[in-house]
Amino acid sequence: MRSHFADRLCAAVRAKGNAVCVGIDPRWDMLPLEVRRRHAGSDLENVAEAFAEFGLRILEVVAPLVPVVKPQSAFFEACGPAGMLALRRILRRAHELGLMTILDNKRNDIASTAEAYADAALAGVLHEGKRLPVWGADALTINPYLGRDAIEPFLQSARRCQGGVFVLVRTSNKGAGQFQDLLGDGKPFFQHVGEAVAKWAGENLGKCGYGDVGAVVGATHPAELAMLRALLPQVVFLVPGFGAQGGSAKDVSPAFRSDGLGAIINSSRGIIASFPPEDPNWEVAVEKATRETIAALMRP
């Protein structure tokens, strides 16, 4: 049995010397032209093939440099069943390359339905007494609106396979506050969620002192990030919104604990769309953008 999710994550961050997560969010219009040309055609199966090729080539570039990748399920789902095949190939290859994987699919439901989502992403689906892997990610993202009993199947699946769960706490969009900032008992709603996440994380701590339940907290809200960091010392933060969405290295620095651990900073477009589509040497640009992202985050 592999070790605790947070211990594996901390070890990967230490081994690579940085906490950068590369978001695999392919969009047709930003793919290299040479990839688009090879998969030209008017149906979504071609798009899915292009996403697979692009994602797999991104993995080869970033695997020596970063500890984690985060495929965005939505773009693969938008290609239909063929897209899900592409997603599976990318997740499998990432593991072969020693990368940790966070499946960003923001799932949520109740009871056996939540269990189906959770087991598909993490522990594998139980069929005739055997667990069959589906996406086999190290962690997934989930939405907290339905409450702990609906989150329980995700925790159980994670704990069965030493996986992890990242709960949306404060999202990176401009309008995140419409509901997340509503005050209840003098505290914003996202803080109620954050405090619940801290409790769930505390149920199963790794040797590194972090739990297997993390929090998604956008880089675009540095004040909230600092407040949550202080309140949730045992929670690993997954921080989207760096780069293309406007968050700077300074903005994300409060996400880290004083030991330099405790956060994973995601960059998607800043890395995987860091070249003009006509650039034949786009993988060189991706490597350069990855190194620059790492450097920027190491001296905020």
Position 285 contacts its own copies (CB under 8 A): no
Footprint of its own copies on 174-213 (CB under 8 A): 174-180, 182-185, 189, 192-193, 196
* Location of structure tokens 């996440």: 197
Q: Is the dihedral of CA 121, 125, 131, 135 positive or negative?
A: negative
- Regarding 34 and contact with its own copies (CB under 8 A), the answer is no
The CA distance from 126 to 246, in Å, is 42
- Is 106 designated active site? yes
Q: How far is the CB of 83 from its own copies (least distance, A)?
A: 8
Rule CB under 8 A: say whether 75 interacts with its own copies.
yes
For residue 114 the two structure tokens come to 């939540």
Catalytic residue among 16, 70, 106, 250: 106
Tokens 């439901």 sit at which residue?
109
> Given candidates 127, 223, 259, 278, which one binds its own copies under the rule CB under 8 A?
127
**Could you tell me the smallest distance in angstroms from the CB atom of residue 295 to its own copies?**
27
Torsion on CA atoms 143, 149, 150, 151, rounded to nearest 10: 50
Spell out the residues 6+ positions from residue 260 whose beta carbon is closer than 8 angstroms to its own.
none
Q: What is the dihedral of CA 168, 174, 175, 180, to 10 degrees?
A: 40
Please report how close the Cβ of residue 197 comes to its own copies at its closest, in angstroms.
Answer: 11
CB of 10 to its own copies, least distance (A): 28
Query: Is 85 one of the binding residues for its own copies (CB under 8 A)?
Result: yes
Q: How many chain residues bind its own copies (CB under 8 A)?
A: 66
**How far is CA 269 from its chain centroid?**
14
Closest CB to its own copies among residues 195, 283: 195
Residues 252, 203 contacting (CB under 8 angstroms): no
Rounded to whole angstroms, what are the CA distances from 236 to 3, 5, 106, 265? 16, 11, 17, 11
- Residue 93, both tokens: 């290859």
Contact 228, 194 (CB under 8 A): yes
Question: Between 106 and 291, whose beta carbon lies closer to its own copies?
Answer: 106
Among 11, 97, 125, 285, binds its own copies (CB under 8 A): 125
146 near its own copies, rule: CB under 8 A: yes
**Which residues does the annotation mark as catalytic?**
106
Give contact residues for its own copies (rule: CB under 8 A): 25, 27-28, 42-44, 47, 72, 74-75, 77-82, 84-85, 88, 106-114, 116-117, 119-120, 125, 127-128, 130, 132, 134-135, 143-150, 168, 171-180, 182-185, 189, 192-193, 196
